[in-house]
Amino acid sequence: GDAARGWQLLPAPAEAAAAPGARVSASATVFRGVVYLFGGQQRGGMPLDDLWALSGADTETPTVTAAWRRLRVKGAAPAGRYEHAAAVVVDVEADAAHAAGPAGARSGDGSRLVVHGGRGASGAAMADMWAFHFASEHWTKLAEITPAGVRFGHAAAAPPGVRPAAGGLPRLYLFGGVVQAVGPGAAGLRRAPTGSATSSLFECNAATGACEDISFGCAPSSADSAGADFMPAALGPRYGHAVAATDLEV
């Protein structure tokens, strides 16, 4: 209930090695009550590529302790990065089909964590898009580069469990960020970028990595008094922000 809402400090695991180390600019997403922490930057500038799952954080049972688990994924995986965008794309129908089928069947389907861009070694901006499949716990590279291009400090969100009319996975949206790569700041930690922040908005297919620039929204249905097309209201350029989605809005 509303009366129970508030911040709660979760105790650290008894063993220091059983939890992710200190970092900045990582991403944290939630799927079925489990928090997934990916990447980030260590002090000294090292970009991280580890993926952790925190279970038990949403329980109201005092006897249950939240616990971290590092997901040691086999096969290809995204390079270490920070200031990337990440969002969970829920596919209820595919999850149900996967659970009902034989083990390993349709492992490429189902809900997934999608990661795009960010900054890697030497602070270079990245453009690739990856998907982590929750059912099979493996990564798939969706695209080496998308129309969203190289960027960092942007944000991603996906409508929860909504399938587009044309079929396929729910849509993923990318907004804002910096499109010019810069070097690391003092002590290897983040600094205000010297590149250009953007207000661009992309709609992406979370199965293929294909993205479309929809920065200007829907085409205006009318013209102003002078007969000229007009620009719809929009957010200004920014980076380091957050984005969330409902079934109908981002």
**pLDDT > 90 in the chain, percent:** 44
User: Hey, what are 14's tokens?
Assistant: 């008894």
Q: What is the per-residue pLDDT for 110?
A: 84
Q: Is the pLDDT of residue 6 over 90?
A: no
| 12-38: pLDDT as tens digits | 666 666 889 999 999 999 999 899 999
The whole-model pTM stands at: 0.80
Cβ distance 170 to 158 under 8 Å? yes
Distance CA 129, CA 85 (A): 10
| 158-171: pLDDT as tens digits | 988 666 545 556 78
Torsions phi, psi for 189 (to 5 deg): -95, 170
Distance CA 71, CA 55 (A): 12
Q: What is the per-residue pLDDT for 182?
A: 39
Helix (H, G, I), strand (E, B) or coil at 123: helix
In sequence order, the β-bridge partners of residue 171 are: 205
pLDDT band, residue 234 (cuts 50/70/90): low
Interval 86-108 mean pLDDT: 66
**For the chain, what is the total number of helices (H) and then of strands (E)?**
1, 12
CB neighbour class for 138 (10 Å; exposed up to 12, middle 13-18, buried from 19): middle
Of 28-32, 40-44, 81-85, 181-185, where does mean pLDDT reach its minimum? 181-185
Distance CA 191, CA 82 (A): 12
